[in-house]
């Protein structure tokens, strides 16, 4: 089949990877040059441990509390936006214990599937060598309250068969001996892994081009023409295309393109920031600094400090106070670390597509016969890229999917 994938992030490229393996003629169209954005500035985590969706009890109250502090980890810029008001109401309706409990096993299963597929891709040799480590993830805490909160999650993970360890300060020092850490201890999610996105993404693009995938960059999809219940034509800033199947993997822009098809896809861009430190830090273990709500990843050639969730619409504005909050958070846990003004000035941002319930949209459109959605992964986009690509390939082939995807239905009610 001729297949067009709209979006060249990790989800779109992963979909192209599995579809071209099946012998299809695949074209990827992206509005950028595929060198920046959420797939490049994320923490690079593979996170079976992240079983709690973002829409969870207490999140709304926390968001309101932080709403007027532009340096807070979870910031909502006050604005008049009907789509955002609707999304917020759906988020509120999704933030209850029953829905969270229902989501937990689904999030675990898709994360484990994706983690295994990362391993398969590396073992295939298609992309050559790239960082893929299974050191786990440290949840560093300073307070007893943070520990007690995370311990409940850790106990739940253990009950689901995932590997978890509880480390006190002395055990933490043994596992991370080359840097000073100001923390009482850590929950160690041994089940997790990490990568370097800025290394993997160009390798994935290069492989796909060698394999015959047509990757069109700096080309924006402007419209989608529908005829007899199918997308008949994809109109871009440079031309028009036809295909048997269309995959919508446009990240935070997916909701805008869905509107052109008269499809409501509740989605909001959640902006994240990163600082790279390209000098020795002594940090060898990926970590989440719990009270600072930020991530730390030892990547190839640098250490990345990333975090924040900012709901301010689609924009590339870098708010300095948010970058400084990441730098201060890092210093608070790693007292010997000094992030320089140059490193702060080099901060970058990307927008993650967030659904109201924190689960991705993966599946066929109810209205458009040849349209498959692959978006809305929130903070798990990188982790879930390969699994989503595999599922998209199975959906298009009308095969039995590798897992139950009913929870990801694009037309689900909130």
Instruction: Return the pLDDT at 78.
Output: 74
Average pLDDT over residues 292-310: 95
Q: At what angle do helices 97-124 and 381-396 cross, to 10 degrees?
A: 80
Predicted TM-score of the model (pTM): 0.95
Average pLDDT over residues 339-350: 97
- Return the SS3 of 114: helix
Percent share of the chain, pLDDT over 70? 97
Instruction: Return the pLDDT at 64.
Output: 63
Give per-residue pLDDT as tens, 171-224: 999 999 999 999 999 999 999 999 999 999 999 999 999 999 999 999 999 999
Tell me phi and psi for residue 98, to 5 degrees.
-60, -45
Highest mean pLDDT among 83-97, 300-314, 383-397: 383-397
Instruction: Return the pLDDT at 9.
Output: 98
Domain ranges of the chain: 2-408
Asked if the model's pLDDT at residue 68 lies above 90, the reply is no
Average pLDDT over residues 83-112: 92
Instruction: Return the pLDDT at 342.
Output: 97
pLDDT-derived band at 106 (thresholds 50, 70, 90) equals: very high
Asked if the model's pLDDT at residue 134 lies above 80, the reply is yes
Instruction: Return the pLDDT at 107.
Output: 95
Give per-residue pLDDT as tens, 14-48: 999 999 999 999 999 999 999 999 999 999 999 99
Least confident of 64-68, 79-83, 184-188, 273-277: 64-68
Asked if the model's pLDDT at residue 391 lies above 90, the reply is yes
Give per-residue pLDDT as tens, 246-297: 999 999 999 999 999 999 999 999 999 999 999 999 999 999 999 999 999 9
Instruction: State how far the Cα of 63 lies from the Cα of 302, in Å rounded to an integer.
Output: 32
Taking all residues of the chain, what is their mean pLDDT, rounded to a whole number? 94
Q: Which among 350, 342, 346 is positioned nearest to 316, based on CA atoms?
A: 350
Residue 287, exposed/middle/buried by CB under 10 A (0-12, 13-18, 19+)?
buried
Q: Which among 399, 407, 412 is positioned nearest to 18, based on CA atoms?
A: 399
Instruction: Return the pLDDT at 63.
Output: 64
Which fold, 2-408? FAD/NAD(P)-binding domain (3.50.50)
Instruction: Return the pLDDT at 55.
Output: 76
Residue 187, exposed/middle/buried by CB under 10 A (0-12, 13-18, 19+)?
buried
């Amino acid at each position: 089949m001729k297949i067009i994938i709209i979006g060249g992030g990790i989800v779109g490229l992963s979909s192209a990877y599995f579809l071209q393996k099946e012998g299809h003629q695949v074209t990827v169209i992206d509005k950028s040059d595929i060198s920046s954005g959420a797939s490049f500035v994320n923490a690079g985590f593979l996170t079976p441990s992240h079983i709690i969706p973002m829409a969870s009890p207490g999140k709304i109250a926390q968001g309101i509390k932080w709403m007027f502090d532009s340096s807070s980890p979870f910031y909502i810029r006050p604005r008049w936006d009907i789509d955002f008001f609707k999304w917020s109401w759906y988020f509120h309706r999704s933030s209850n214990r029953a829905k969270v409990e229902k989501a937990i096993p689904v999030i675990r299963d898709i994360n484990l599937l994706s983690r295994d597929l990362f391993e398969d891709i590396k073992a295939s040799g298609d992309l050559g060598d790239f960082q893929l480590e299974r050191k786990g993830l440290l949840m560093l805490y300073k307070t007893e309250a943070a520990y007690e909160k995370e311990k409940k999650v850790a106990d739940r993970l253990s009950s689901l068969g995932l590997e978890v360890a509880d480390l006190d300060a002395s055990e933490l020092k043994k596992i991370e001996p080359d840097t000073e850490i100001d923390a009482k201890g850590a929950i160690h999610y041994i089940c997790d892994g990490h990568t370097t996105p800025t290394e993997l993404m160009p390798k994935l693009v290069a492989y796909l081009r060698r394999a015959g995938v047509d990757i069109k960059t700096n080309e924006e999809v402007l419209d989608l023409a529908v005829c007899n219940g199918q997308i008949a034509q994809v109109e871009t800033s440079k031309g028009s295309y036809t295909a048997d199947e269309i995959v919508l993997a446009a990240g935070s822009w997916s909701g805008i393109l869905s509107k052109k098809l008269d499809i409501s896809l509740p989605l909001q861009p959640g902006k994240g920031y990163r600082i790279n430190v390209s000098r020795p830090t002594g940090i060898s273990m990926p970590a989440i600094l719990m009270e600072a709500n930020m991530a730390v990843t030892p990547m190839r050639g640098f250490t990345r400090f990333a975090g924040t969730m900012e709901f301010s619409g689609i924009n590339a504005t870098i708010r300095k106070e948010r970058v400084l909050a990441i730098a201060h958070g890092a210093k608070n846990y790693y007292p010997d670390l000094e992030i320089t003004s140059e490193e702060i000035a080099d901060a970058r941002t990307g927008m993650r597509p967030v659904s109201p319930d924190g689960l991705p949209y993966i599946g066929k459109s109810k209205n458009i016969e040849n349209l498959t959605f692959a978006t809305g992964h929130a903070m798990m986009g990188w982790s879930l890229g390969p699994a989503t690509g595999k599922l998209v390939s199975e959906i298009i082939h009308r095969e039995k999917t590798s897992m139950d995807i009913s929870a990801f239905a694009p037309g689900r009610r909130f």
